[in-house]
Structure formats: structure tokens, C-alpha cells
Structure 1
Amino acid sequence: MTRRFTSSQLLLLAASFLITLGSFAVLPYMSVLLHERLGLGLGAVGAVLAMASLVQFGGGVVGAALARRIGLRATMLVALAVRTAGFACFVPGLGRPWLAVVALFLVSAGAALYLPANKAHLVAGRPAAERPRLLAASGSAFNAGIALGPPAAAPFVLGEPGVLFGAVAVLFALVGVAHLLLPEVPDEPSEATRSGPAGWSAGAVPFAYTILAVYVFMFFQHYLALYAIPRTSAGYYGVVLMGYALLLVVVQPLLADWTSKLPYARALRWGFGTLALGLATIATGGHWGIAAGAVLICLAEAVLFLRNDLAALERSPDPPATVFARQRLAAGLGASAAALLGGPLYATAERTTTASHFWLLAAAQAVTLPLLLALALGSRRPPPKPTPYPEASAPRR
């Protein structure tokens, strides 16, 4: 097995970094821009962001269908053109709220179209043994952009947002031109997974566990700021968040081979168990508890998310773009559930006892929900067909 990346893979990994860098130079500040600069009410801001998230995660199914029709490279080119148009629309949209909302939905739709095709092109034609390394490298590229995008944009996002949006639009246009260098490759499953029933049922188990994993994980993403900043400082929270992303950049490729060789059931136990331990550690509060909890959750993410994607690829004979689109849909469902349920849970814990109990409840869910899902899946398996008179094959003593 070769350990060297091809020129096409390097281009895709570089694009993943630059695209995420540009996106996260803008998207984390959208609530501030929509509310403070454009004057939208907080209720309207929440509704717009929720719908944009639904488009970004759920629209991957449309991206997979488009890839089947026009190919992976063409789908990525269309997606990048849509995202370029979206960021360009933000420039005049800074004076027109309706145009800014349209721009946000264009950006979200472009992400939905691009990501499944990007991952499918990355693993296209490669043996199954190389997929963990490639997907881990892709995850590292994305997380590097997530870590560096917000601090790079901070000096411009409120003072000169038009310049920032224009620069990001140019960046996306250049990345789109670079994609013309990619060869067109077929979006086909590997030989190891061609047989078997296609469709949703083939990947139902990793789909379900991905919903659970993202649901519990997003408690950390959505509500750590509310918990950490009053107990430490905004600066410390920013350091923890950046350190988390940079640690994931390093850890996920290092653990990729080990993760891929873990039996799926053991990987689920390890990942959800470590996630629960990290959430419980955050409940101790203080600088060390929050930092140690973030490290544990980082390790859980590195194993759990990659192993779910690999299991979905292994179990489904569908094209990779379709598999990755379904996994993104699962992530979107999990993130939406965390957003809907996490807020009331956090408010109840803070009002009735202490916010630390919110993290203990999240840790309890990381333990119990996978067990309940395993029981539910086990109860739906058909019983093995009985073999009549099994003792007849052995001579009587």
C-alpha cells in the first residue's frame, strides 16, 4: 500500500483547507452580522441559521444525486460556483438583509453539494486499506481551516466585512479554477462492497450511530462557551477551542490505521465511552477540568466519526458520494436534535441546580443511548433458522 498522496489528492486536501479557512472566516460571525449590523431580531436570526444548517447538512443527498448524473468533478465545480456567488452576494447584502439571507443559503447549498463529491473523489479507485488515511487527512485539512479561519478574520469581520467577503469570494473562485485540473473519475463502490442490498437499509446502523454521536458531541460544541467563559474567561475559551481543532489535526491521522482495524462494536464502545468521560470531566469546572474534558472529547471524535464513515462505506454497495451524503444527513439530524433539546436542558439545569449537571446528563446520554440503540437493533434481527435434529450428524454413544 502506497503512503504517498497523488497530485489529485493533494489538490483536494489543499482545497479542503482553503475552503474551510474561507468559510470559517465568515460563518462563525453570521449571528453577529445579521443581528447587530443588519438589524434582524434574534428570533429571525435563529430561524435563518437553523434553516441554513438544514440545507447544508440535508442537501448532501441532492449533491450525491447530481454527482451520479454529471460526475464528481462537475459537481464540485457547480458547488464552488454557487458558493462563490453566495460570498459575492454578501458584499451588496451588507446593506440589504434579504440579500444577505439569500447569500447565506447559497453558501450553505454550495457546501451541501461539494462535500460528498470531494470525499468520494478522494477515495475513488483506491483500495479499502487506504481509505482511513485519506479520510483522516481530509478531516485534518478541514479542522486546520476551522482553527485558523476565525482568528484570521477577526480584525476585519466587523470593521471591513465587505473586504472580507470579497476576498473570500475571490479565494473560492481560484479554488474552483484549480478544480479544472482534476481528472474525472467514476463514483463507484469498491469491489469489496458491490454485492448486497443497495439503499438506506445497507448503511442504517452507522447512520443511526452517527446521529447519536453528533447529537451528544454537539452539546460540547453548542454550550461549552456558556459554561466555560463565566468560569474562566473568553480568552481561555478561545485557546481551548483552537487547541482542540489543532489537536484533532494531528491526532486523527495518527490514529487512522488503529481506528480502521478496530472492530466496529469495540470502536463504538471506545468512542462513546471516551466521549462520556470527557463530558463528565467538563462538569468538574475550572481551567483544568474544561481543558482535560476537551482533550478526551477530541480523542473520541477522532475515532468515532471516522469509524462510522468507514463502517458506512464497508456496509453499503452504493457509490461513495451517496454514502457520504447520507452520513452528512445523519450529522445534520444529530446536530439539530442537540440544538433543540440542549438549550432547554441547559436552562433547566442552570435554573434548578447547577450547569455542571447538564454535562453529567450529557455524559449519561453518551452511555445509555448507544446501549438502547444496540438493544433496539438487536431485537429487529431475524432469529437464526433452526437446524432440525442437529445431533443426528454425530454418532450416538
Structure 2
Amino acid sequence: MADHAPGGNGLRATLSTLDGPLRFLLLSSFVIPLGSFMVLPFMSVFLHERLGMGLGTVGVVLAVASLVQFSGGIVGGALADRFGLRRTMLWALVIRTAGFVGLLAALRWPPLAVGALVLTCCGAALYLPANKAYLVNGVDEGRRPAFLSAGNAALNAGMAVGPLIAGPFVLTTPGWLFVAVTALFVLVTAGHARLPAAKAEAEPGPGSGGRGLLAGVAVLPFAANALAFYLYFHFQHFLAVYAVERASSSFYSVVLLLCFALVIVVQPLASGLIRRMPYATALGVGFAGLASGMAVLAVGTRPALLAGGALITLGDIVLFLKNDLEALRRSPRSDAVVFGQQRLAAGLGACASGVLGGQVYDLTSRAGSTGWFWLLAAAQCLLLPPLLSALRTREDDGRRHPTLTTTKEH
């Protein structure tokens, strides 16, 4: 079955094995980002225009929130390893729901908005590693790419639809919007309370959380994920200002919709091919996609914005899925801990991109040629990945002379 995963029939056959709880989890993987992205993409505008915060303060708040949401995943993975996947998801949703209640209360007392935003990001950090681990719990290696890519597709679909629904209401009637999102999260939380415990977590014990958060980390996939997110977030952080200057905010939305659509359609269909692809080949293909996309963006025309976004998205489809699969294969830790470690790598990369990329974009902007920003990013996509070969040699040597058990924890 897994050998035919790249095709539509093989993918449907694989996903048809999903039972009721996993189908609910996939639905939740759409509904949760749908609700979140009805609010979070507009937070900079909401904090600045509705609550009167200065843009400098808004930038700091969003940077902290992003770092918490990504890097906090390593804590989420450790908690899931210690207390169980279902229980951790439930706690995470309770925390996130409380965050949206706080945003509603912030309409009356604005200082609450910062704490409420950070609370929603804490909930996201705790939820995602447990969600991914539950989705692949007890699934053989051949079917894991299809299950993970289906979850990623559902997540991206929710991220795409949420802003479209909420855009007309977030500044005019934010109270009703926050009430609707809170109610949505209450329903999803209640559904998670009815999920059965995952097969491998029926008796979580105190010893399962006794190792360090980075113990057993798969060094090469961790480093490759950090680098991939560092390079990709040049696109994520700075495309908006670049595209709006050359086209319009509406056209920027079209570019984002194209990128979301590619992830939703292409990644599930290509999941089996990505699984079978040698890791070195996948890294080469993925980083080449990022490099070519960044270079095309430098042209600055509308067709270039669409083509560049598409190439970058195809590159990240390969990189993000393959890095997760390779980390699961190489690490002796439980799935939840592995996903948490990979989220930490993503957070470090995204944060570095914001700090370093912001400085470079500012320099090129003042020089009057922001196209050079994308050319410099493209050069990094070609020059930095070869550094991973040293880590690859080191990790291969480590596997030939292991110091840790190779039995997967649960």
C-alpha cells in the first residue's frame, strides 16, 4: 500500500484505514487553525489600531509570541511523553481557549491582550507535538508520510480559510468574532475529552519524562530543520511588505492562497515519493527549490511573485516532511518528544530569520533595491546547506558507535 502512496488511489487507500478518533483529529487539524487564523494574522493591526499600541511594542510582542509558539513545542513534547498524548492535547486546548477569552476581555481592558496572545501561543506549543504523535501512533513507517501530510494539509486549509472568513469583522466587530472563536474551541476541547488514550500511552509512567529535553536528538534533521525554517521565513516574514509595494494587498493574498493550495494538494500526493527519496537528495531538492524561488522573487513582477512563491512552497513541502520523517527514524525518543525537538529547531530558525533577515531587508530597502534581499537569501540557500554534510558525517559515525539505545520509547 505504501509503495503507491504518491498516487491518488494509494493515498485514499492509506487514509481509508483511519478510525473514528483519527478522523476527528484530522478534522480538528483543520478547525483549530481555522479558528486561530480568524484572529492571529490580524493581531498586529488589532494591537496597533484597536488597542493603540505603538508599532515597536507590537513587533516585540509578536516576536515573543512566535518564539513561544514554535520553540515551546519541545516542552509540549516532553509533557506528552510524561503525561500522555490525549491529556496533553486537552490541557493545551483549555489553555488556548482561555487565551481567546482573554482577548475578548481585552476589549474592555487592553493590557490583557499581551498575556492573552502569549497564552494562545503556549497552547499551540503544547498541542502540536502531541497531535502529530497521536496521528502516527502505532502506524507503520510506510504509512506515516501519508498520515502526517494529511494532517499538514488540513492545517494549511484551516490557515487559508480563517483569514478569509474573519477579514471583514476583525476591526469592525471583534467582540463577536472572539466569542465565535472561543465557542469553536470549547466544542473542539469537548471532543478531545472523548478521545481514547493512544495505544502506546495507556500507562504513562514517571520514568518516561526523566531524560533531558534534547537527549537523543537526531542532530542532522534538527539542524536541517532549523536551517530550512531560517531560510523559509525570509519569505514568510518579508514577502508581505515586498509584494504590497509592487502589487497590492489583495494580490499578496492571492500568492498566499496559491502557496496554501500547493501544500494541501501536492504534499499528500507526494508523501510516498518523499519517504522513499534518499535524505541527501531530499535536502538538495528542497533547498534548490527555496534558492530558485528566492531568486525569482527578486524580479519583482506579479508573475514572479506567484512563481517564486510556488517554487519556495514546493521546496518546503519536501524539506519539512522529510526532516520530520528522518528525525522519527533516527531518534530513540518517543514520537512526541521528537516532534517537540523539531518544533524547537523551527522556532530557532524562524527567530534567527526575523532578527538577521530584518537587518538585511532594512539595508537593502534604504539602498533602494530590495530585490537584492532575495538574491542574498537565494545565495544562502545554496551556500549554507553544504555545512550540513559535516553533521551528517558526525551522526553517521555516532550511529556506527552508538551510546544510546536504538529502541523507540513510547
- Which of 354, 358, 363 is the aligned partner of 2:373? 358
Is the Cα–Cα contact under 8 Å of residues 71 and 186 in structure 1 kept in the other structure?
no
The Cα shift of 1:119 comes to 0.4
Identity of aligned residues (%): 51
Please tell me whether Structure 1 or Structure 2 has the larger radius of gyration of its CA atoms.
1
Matches within 5 A, 1:103-118: 103-118=116-131
Is the Cα–Cα contact under 8 Å of residues 271 and 304 in structure 1 kept in the other structure?
yes
Matches within 5 A, 1:277-356: 277-352=292-367, 354-356=369-371
Does 1:97 find its partner at 2:110?
yes
**CA deviation digits over 1:48-70, x for unaligned, max 9?**
11111121112212212221232
Is the Cα–Cα contact under 8 Å of residues 121 and 187 in structure 1 kept in the other structure?
no
- In structure 2, what is the equivalent of residue 135 of structure 1? 148
The Cα shift of 1:94 comes to 1.5
**CA deviation digits over 1:262-317, x for unaligned, max 9?**
00011000100111011111111201111111111111111110000000000011
Which deviates further from its counterpart, 224-233 or 16-25?
Answer: 224-233
CA distance in 2, matches of 1:139, 1:328: 14
Amino acid at match of 1:255: A
Matches within 5 A, 1:42-191: 42-186=55-199
- In structure 2, what is the equivalent of residue 390 of structure 1? none
The Cα shift of 1:187 comes to 5.0
Does 1:13 find its partner at 2:29?
no
Is the Cα–Cα contact under 8 Å of residues 229 and 350 in structure 2 kept in the other structure?
yes
Is the Cα–Cα contact under 8 Å of residues 276 and 366 in structure 1 kept in the other structure?
yes
- In structure 1, what is the equivalent of residue 264 of structure 2? 249
DSSP-derived class of the 2:114 partner: helix
**CA deviation digits over 1:370-396, x for unaligned, max 9?**
1123245547876999xxxxxxxxxxx
Amino acid at match of 1:96: W
TM-score by length of 2: 0.88
- Which of 41, 53, 67 is the aligned partner of 1:40? 53
DSSP-derived class of the 1:158 partner: coil
- In structure 2, what is the equivalent of residue 209 of structure 1? 224
- In structure 1, what is the equivalent of residue 281 of structure 2? 266
Is the Cα–Cα contact under 8 Å of residues 279 and 297 in structure 1 kept in the other structure?
yes
Amino acid at match of 1:173: V
Distance 1:282 1:78, change over 3 A: same
Distance 1:362 1:186, change over 3 A: same
Is the Cα–Cα contact under 8 Å of residues 72 and 186 in structure 1 kept in the other structure?
no
Kindly report structure 1 stretches of 4+ aligned residues shifted beyond 6 Å. Answer: none
Which deviates further from its counterpart, 232-241 or 24-33?
Answer: 232-241
Is the Cα–Cα contact under 8 Å of residues 364 and 372 in structure 2 kept in the other structure?
yes
Is the Cα–Cα contact under 8 Å of residues 83 and 107 in structure 1 kept in the other structure?
yes
The Cα shift of 1:202 comes to 4.1
Which deviates further from its counterpart, 368-377 or 98-107?
Answer: 368-377
- In structure 1, what is the equivalent of residue 4 of structure 2? none
Is the Cα–Cα contact under 8 Å of residues 77 and 179 in structure 1 kept in the other structure?
yes
CA distance in 1, matches of 2:136, 2:324: 12
CA distance in 1, matches of 2:398, 2:152: 39
Equivalent residues, number = 377
- In structure 1, what is the equivalent of residue 241 of structure 2? 226
Q: What runs of 5+ residues in structure 1 fail to find an aligned partner? A: 189-196, 386-397
The Cα shift of 1:105 comes to 1.4
CA distance in 1, matches of 2:72, 2:199: 21
Distance 1:48 1:223, change over 3 A: same
Does 1:29 find its partner at 2:69?
no
**CA deviation digits over 1:230-270, x for unaligned, max 9?**
21222111111112112210011011000000000110001
TM-score by length of 1: 0.91
Is the Cα–Cα contact under 8 Å of residues 279 and 359 in structure 1 kept in the other structure?
yes
Is the Cα–Cα contact under 8 Å of residues 97 and 182 in structure 2 kept in the other structure?
yes
Amino acid at match of 1:216: L
Is the Cα–Cα contact under 8 Å of residues 187 and 319 in structure 1 kept in the other structure?
no
DSSP-derived class of the 1:90 partner: helix
CA distance in 2, matches of 1:59, 1:294: 28
CA distance in 2, matches of 1:178, 1:10: 12
CA distance in 1, matches of 2:57, 2:362: 21
CA distance in 1, matches of 2:399, 2:106: 61
DSSP-derived class of the 2:365 partner: helix
- In structure 2, what is the equivalent of residue 193 of structure 1? none
The Cα shift of 1:186 comes to 4.7
Distance 1:285 1:134, change over 3 A: same
Computed over aligned residues only, the root mean square deviation of the Cα atoms, in angstroms, reads 2.0
DSSP-derived class of the 1:39 partner: coil
DSSP-derived class of the 1:129 partner: coil
Distance 1:261 1:384, change over 3 A: closer
CA distance in 1, matches of 2:256, 2:217: 36
DSSP-derived class of the 1:68 partner: helix
CA distance in 1, matches of 2:399, 2:342: 30
Is the Cα–Cα contact under 8 Å of residues 120 and 187 in structure 1 kept in the other structure?
no
